Copies of this chain bind each other. A is one copy, B any other.
Amino acid sequence: MNEDLFAAAEVIGIIAFAVSGGYAAVRAGMDWLGVVVLAVVVAVGGGTLRDLLLGIEPVWWVRDPDMLVVATVTAVVVLVVATLHPQSKLDSWRVVLYADAIGLATFTVTGTSIALEQDVRPWIAIIFGVITGTGGGVIRDVLVRRKPLVLVGEIYALAAIAGGVLYVVLRETELASGLAAAAGAALILVVRAAAMRWHWRLPRFSEPGH
């Protein structure tokens, strides 16, 4: 993936996850600074986990602090919008989910790409893509005390895995790496959107009485 495209994907992912984290915080009744903190943590969380596990240190937002600025500015915008349009909170979970889907799509591909550069096996690289794409959302859900989205029956990690596999396979072909990345991200986005639109779910176990 060429550098400009990669940077663009990172910025899109940061903005999307900051929106997702910020709205989740608004919904959970957090304070203004808490909204900013959660937005930033969700935006950088997946990539931070990836860097720690791969041993790339210091982690990415220390090497590239502009990403923190992008996340913070996004969080402030969420704050203003949520304050001026309190009725938007009624739909806030939908905003969280769609923003999360965009972040999942871009970060899964950039995360896979970064892991491949560390010379891990392709299927391990895909796992790192999934960690990068889902990590922020897991942190978000633990901090607002919901069951992590990735674990509760939505077609979610599966979409990320599918996109990661497509990206890795297409990279091996003649295709420009940018196109491979775009195709992988698009697949994730389409699968997630379809899953939300038509309520596709993975089979899930019922909770027995405790």
Contacts and interface: CB of A to CB of B under 8 A. Distances in A.
A147 B28 contact: yes
A204 interface: yes
Give this chain's copy count. Answer: 3
Range for the number of chain A residues in contact with chain B: 35 or more
B204 A29 contact: yes
A30 B205 contact: yes
A151 B143 contact: yes
Contacts of A138: 143
A68 interface: yes
A11 B90 CA distance: 47
A62 B57 contact: no
Interface string A54-86: 110111001001001000000000000010000
Contact of A207 (B29, B118, B150): B29
Contacts of A32: 202-204
Contacts of A151: 25, 28, 30-31, 34, 37-38, 143
